[in-house]
Structure 1
Amino acid sequence: MHCPLAPSIDRLPAGFNRLAGSNLAAQSAEQIALAAMPMVAVLTLHADASTASWLQVALTLPFVLFAIPIGMLADRWPKRTLMAGAEAARAAALFVVAGLLVTGHLNLAALGVLGFVAVCGTVVFSVAAPALVPALVPALVPAAMLSRANGRIELARTVAFACGPAIGGALIGWTGAMAAFVLAAALSAAAAALLAGVASPLPARRRTAHALRDIAEGARFVFQHPLLRPVFATQFIFTAAIFMVFAIFVPYAAHRLGLSAQAIGLALGMYGAGMVIGALLAARILARWRFGYVVATGPVCGLAGGALLAATLWQPWPALAHAGFFLLGCGPILWVVSTTTLRQTVTPPALLARVSAVNVMSYGARPVGAALAAWLAAQAGVGACLLVALAGFALQLLCILQSPAVRLMRQPEADDADAAFNPAQAY
C-alpha cells in the first residue's frame, strides 16, 4: 500500500531541499569571500606576492588544524547546530570585514584573522554536512536515493565554485569590495536560517571517551580500512598535484600561452564548467555504470587533464588548456560523489563525522602543492611544475587502481557495517 507520507522515490523531499539550499548558500558565500579577500589584499591594501601568499596560508590552515577536532564534536553534538553556528560566525566575520573596509580601518592583519575565522565556518560545514545526509536515512532521504542526495549537495558546491569567484570579481569591479563581503555575509546568514527546517537526529550515543581517543578512533578506521585508505591517499596526491597547477597557471598562461586576463579567466572557468556538468550527470552515471568504474573515472580524468596541460609546453594551444581544466573538473566530481557515498555506507554512524573530518584533512595538500610549485618554479621554471604535477596525477591513478574500490560492482549496502572490513561482500 502506498503511504502518502512516504518520501517519493522520484524526488528528494522538501526537508532535504532545505539542506541543499543551505549548502548552496554556504558554498557561494565561501567562494565569493575567498575570491574577494586576495583581490582586496592586492588592489586595496597593496600586498606584495609574499604577503598575499601568507594570506592564502591563513585561508587554508583551518582545514589542517580543525578538521579532526570538528569531526569529533560533530559525532557528539547535533550536526545542524554546529553547522548553523559556524555559518553565523562566518557571517559575523564577513560583516566585520565589510565594516572595517568602509570605515578605512581594514589592514592585512585584520583581513587574515577574520578570513581565518570565516574559513573555520567552511571547515565545519564540510565535515558535518556529509555526516548529516546519511543520518537522514530513511526518515527523510530514502536509502536508494543516497547517491542522488550526495550529487545534489555536490552540485550546489560546484555551481558555487564555478560562479562565486566571477560574482565576487564582478562586484569588486563594479561597486567595490564592500558589496562582495556583504553579499557573502548575507548568504552565510541565509544558510544558517535554512538549516532551521532540517531534522537533526541526536548522535547515537553520548561519548565519554577521551578526546584524543575519539580522534584516533576515526583516523584508525580510515587508515586501516581497505577501501577508505587508498581513497584518502589518492585524494591527497590529486589535491597536491592540482594545486601545483593552480599556483603557476596564471603567470604560465600569460607568458607562455600569451593569454589575456579574460582568456585566462575563461580557461579557469572550464574547470568550473566541468564540475557542474559532472555533478549534473553523476546520478545517471552511478545508475548505469559499475560503482568501481565511477570511482576510477576521477583519477583517469585527472591524469588525462594533467597530460593535456603538460602538452602546452610543446604546443602552446589554449584549447589544450581548456580541455585539460574541463577534465580536471568533470571527472573528479564523479569521484567526490561516489567516494562520499562509499564512505557514508561503510562507516558506522557513530564514527561518520570523524571519518569525514579525516577526509577533509586531505585538503591539507593544498598548501603542500602550492609551496612545492613555488619552490620548483624558482629552481627550474613553471614547466617543471607542470611535469611534476603530471607525475602526481599518474601516481594518484596508480594508487586507486591498486584498491579494491575500483572492483566494486555496486554501492555497498548502508546497513552492512560488517562490510567495512569485508568489501568482497559488495563485489
Structure 2
Amino acid sequence: MPFRLFGASSRSTASAGPAFGAAFNRLAWSNLFAQSAEQVSLAAAPLVAVFALDASARDIGLLQTAQTLPFLLLSIPLGVWADRHSRRTLMTVAEALRVAALLAVLALVYTHALSLPLLMVLGFLGATGTVAYGVAAPALVPWLVAREQLAAANGRVELARSVAYSAGPALGGLLVEWIGAGWAYSVAAGLSALAVALLARLREPPRAASAHRHFMLELREGARFVASDALLRPMLATAVFFNVGFFTLQAVYVPYAVHRLGLGASAVGVTLGAYGVGMVCGALAAPTVARALAFGRMLVIGPLCGLAASLVMVATLVVPSFLLATLSFFLLGVGPILWVVGSTTLRQAITPGGMMARVSAINATATQGARPLGALLGAAISAHFGMDACLVAAAAAFAVQAAIIVVSPAARLLGVPEAAAV
C-alpha cells in the first residue's frame, strides 16, 4: 500500500485543538460515563469475590475470564451489525443491558444471595456495553468529525477513558471498603444510566444504504483487508500479546496484592487507579509527543512501556512494595494510551468507511478477545505453579509484543498514511 502522509497543515490543525460538534461531544461524554461505570464495577467485583465470597486466585481468574469473554464471542457479530444498522442504537441498547446487569448485582448484594457463578454471569452481560462501544464508537467517530480532526478526536475519547480508568478503580475500592459493595454497584449503575441518556440524544449522520450480504462474506471481506495490510497485521499481533500479558497479570493481581503485598481493598484500588492516572498523563502528553516524534516512534512507546511495567511487577517478587506495584500500573497506562490513540487513528485513516466497524470488530475480537485467554492462562498457571509464575509469564508476553512492533514497518512511519485504493 502507498505510505503517503498527511500534510503539515493537517497536523497543525489537529494540534491546535479543533472544535467538535454536539454529536461528538455527546459520544465523548457518554464514553466517559460508560467507562467509569465499567471501571467501578470491575474494581468492585474481584474485591467482593475475595473478601465476601472467599474466592481464590483461580476463582478470580475465572471471574476475569467471564467478564472479558464477550469481547471474544460478540465483537464480530456486533461489528457486522454496526456496519449494516445504526451504531448509536447498538451502543444504547448494549449500555442499557449493562445498567440491568449492575442493578441485578446490587439486588443480590442486598438480599445476600450473591454467589461467584452469578457474579460471573452478570459480569458477562455487563461487558456487552463495552464491546458495543469498542466496535461502534471508532466506526462512528469518522462520521462525526473531519478527517484532519481524527487524531485529536481519538485523543479526546481516550482522555475521557483515561479519567475513568484513573478514578474508577480507586473509587470502587474505597466504596467497597468504607461503605460496602452495594454503594459501588449503585454508583456504577447510575453512571451507566447517564451514558444511556446521552447516547439516546446523539444524532447519527445518515449513511448510504448498502446491500446486505451473507454474514460470512462480509466478515471475510474485513478479515482479508486486515490480513493483507502490511501495517495492520503487526499492529494486531502486538495488541494481542499485550492483552494476553496484561490479563495474565490481572487474573492474579488482586489476590497477589492482598496475600503477598499485604494490601487492603483501598490500597489495591489505588494501585489499580495508577493505571488510569498513567492513561490521563499519556493522553495529555499525546499532542506534544505527536508533534515531537514521527508517527511510528509514537507507536513504539506503548509496547516498550508495557514491557518495562511487567519487569517492575516482577521486581515485587523480590521487593514486595506498594510503590513498585503502583509504578507498574502507571507505566501500563502512560505509554499504551499513546498506542491506543495512534493505532485507532491508523485504522480509521486507511480503512474504507463501509467496513470500519467490521475492521474494528476484528481488531477487538483478536485483541480484547485475548483477554479471557490471558485470564484463563493466569488461572491455569496460578493453579499449577503459583502466582509468582503468572508474573513471569506476563513479562514474557510483554517482551513478545514489544519485539513485534519494533521490527514492523509501522514503527518506521513518518506520519499517518492515507487510505489505500480498494
Same topology, TM > 0.5: yes
Counterpart of 2:6 in structure 1 is none
Aligned partner of 1:17 among 17, 25, 30: 25
Task: Tell me if the contact between 1:305 and 1:325 (Cα under 8 Å) persists in the aligned partners.
Answer: yes
Counterpart of 2:97 in structure 1 is 89
Counterpart of 1:412 in structure 2 is 417
Counterpart of 2:404 in structure 1 is 399
Counterpart of 2:313 in structure 1 is 309
Indicate how the Cα distance of structure 1 residues 17 and 406 shifts in structure 2: closer, same or farther if over 3 A, else same: same
SS in 2 for 1:122: helix
- In structure 2, how many angstroms separate the alpha carbons of the residues matched to 1:200 and 1:42? 43
Following TM superposition, by how much is the alpha carbon of 1:221 offset from its aligned partner in structure 2, in angstroms? Answer: 1.6
Letter of the structure 1 residue corresponding to residue 180 of structure 2: G
Following TM superposition, by how much is the alpha carbon of 1:49 offset from its aligned partner in structure 2, in angstroms? Answer: 5.1
Counterpart of 2:198 in structure 1 is 194
Task: Give CA deviations for 1:321-340 in whole Å, capped at 9, x if unaligned.
Answer: 44333222111110000000
SS in 2 for 1:12: coil
Indicate how the Cα distance of structure 1 residues 252 and 194 shifts in structure 2: closer, same or farther if over 3 A, else same: closer
Counterpart of 1:164 in structure 2 is 168
Task: Tell me if the contact between 2:346 and 2:416 (Cα under 8 Å) persists in the aligned partners.
Answer: yes
Task: Give CA deviations for 1:112-146 in whole Å, capped at 9, x if unaligned.
Answer: 3332221112211111111110122xxxx232221
Counterpart of 1:35 in structure 2 is 43
Counterpart of 2:106 in structure 1 is 98
Q: Matches of residues 116-155 of structure 1 in structure 2 within 5 Å? A: 116-136=124-144, 141-155=145-159
- Tell me if 1:366 matches 2:380: no
Task: Give CA deviations for 1:172-196 in whole Å, capped at 9, x if unaligned.
Answer: 3343333322222222221121123
Aligned partner of 1:279 among 274, 283, 295: 283
- Tell me if 1:180 matches 2:184: yes
- In structure 1, how many angstroms separate the alpha carbons of the residues matched to 2:192 and 2:248? 30
Give 5+ residue unaligned stretches, structure 1. Answer: 1-6, 421-427
Following TM superposition, by how much is the alpha carbon of 1:87 offset from its aligned partner in structure 2, in angstroms? Answer: 1.4
- In structure 1, how many angstroms separate the alpha carbons of the residues matched to 2:292 and 2:333? 21
Task: Tell me if the contact between 1:77 and 1:202 (Cα under 8 Å) persists in the aligned partners.
Answer: no
Indicate how the Cα distance of structure 1 residues 381 and 117 shifts in structure 2: closer, same or farther if over 3 A, else same: closer
Task: Give CA deviations for 1:62-97 in whole Å, capped at 9, x if unaligned.
Answer: 111000000000000011111111112221222233
- In structure 1, how many angstroms separate the alpha carbons of the residues matched to 2:398 and 2:259? 24
Task: Tell me if the contact between 1:32 and 1:180 (Cα under 8 Å) persists in the aligned partners.
Answer: yes
- Tell me if 1:336 matches 2:340: yes
Higher mean displacement: 383-392 or 154-163: 383-392
The size of the alignment, in residue pairs, is 407
Indicate how the Cα distance of structure 1 residues 211 and 306 shifts in structure 2: closer, same or farther if over 3 A, else same: same
Task: Tell me if the contact between 2:169 and 2:272 (Cα under 8 Å) persists in the aligned partners.
Answer: no
Letter of the structure 2 residue corresponding to residue 327 of structure 1: L
Indicate how the Cα distance of structure 1 residues 370 and 118 shifts in structure 2: closer, same or farther if over 3 A, else same: closer
Counterpart of 1:4 in structure 2 is none
- In structure 2, how many angstroms separate the alpha carbons of the residues matched to 1:398 and 1:52? 30
- In structure 1, how many angstroms separate the alpha carbons of the residues matched to 2:371 and 2:167? 21
- In structure 2, how many angstroms separate the alpha carbons of the residues matched to 1:48 and 1:255? 11
Counterpart of 2:88 in structure 1 is 80
Task: Tell me if the contact between 1:77 and 1:203 (Cα under 8 Å) persists in the aligned partners.
Answer: no
Q: Matches of residues 52-67 of structure 1 in structure 2 within 5 Å? A: 52-67=60-75
- In structure 2, how many angstroms separate the alpha carbons of the residues matched to 1:121 and 1:146? 23
- In structure 2, how many angstroms separate the alpha carbons of the residues matched to 1:19 and 1:242? 27
CA RMSD of aligned residues (A): 2.6
Counterpart of 1:3 in structure 2 is none
Letter of the structure 1 residue corresponding to residue 185 of structure 2: F
Aligned partner of 2:119 among 105, 111, 114: 111
Counterpart of 2:296 in structure 1 is 292
- In structure 2, how many angstroms separate the alpha carbons of the residues matched to 1:256 and 1:57? 23
SS in 2 for 1:60: helix
State the TM-score, normalizing by the size of structure 1: 0.87
Letter of the structure 1 residue corresponding to residue 28 of structure 2: A
Counterpart of 1:218 in structure 2 is 222
- In structure 2, how many angstroms separate the alpha carbons of the residues matched to 1:171 and 1:66? 31
Letter of the structure 1 residue corresponding to residue 416 of structure 2: Q
Indicate how the Cα distance of structure 1 residues 257 and 191 shifts in structure 2: closer, same or farther if over 3 A, else same: closer
Q: Which has the higher contact order (CA 8 A, sep 6+)?
A: 2
Give 5+ residue unaligned stretches, structure 2. Answer: 1-13
- In structure 2, how many angstroms separate the alpha carbons of the residues matched to 1:284 and 1:14? 26
Indicate how the Cα distance of structure 1 residues 320 and 49 shifts in structure 2: closer, same or farther if over 3 A, else same: closer
Following TM superposition, by how much is the alpha carbon of 1:406 offset from its aligned partner in structure 2, in angstroms? Answer: 1.0
Higher mean displacement: 76-85 or 385-394: 385-394
Counterpart of 1:425 in structure 2 is none
Following TM superposition, by how much is the alpha carbon of 1:315 offset from its aligned partner in structure 2, in angstroms? Answer: 5.0
Higher mean displacement: 232-241 or 286-295: 286-295
Letter of the structure 2 residue corresponding to residue 189 of structure 1: A
Aligned partner of 1:385 among 373, 384, 390: 390
- In structure 2, how many angstroms separate the alpha carbons of the residues matched to 1:267 and 1:178? 22
Higher mean displacement: 398-407 or 304-313: 304-313
Following TM superposition, by how much is the alpha carbon of 1:379 offset from its aligned partner in structure 2, in angstroms? Answer: 4.2
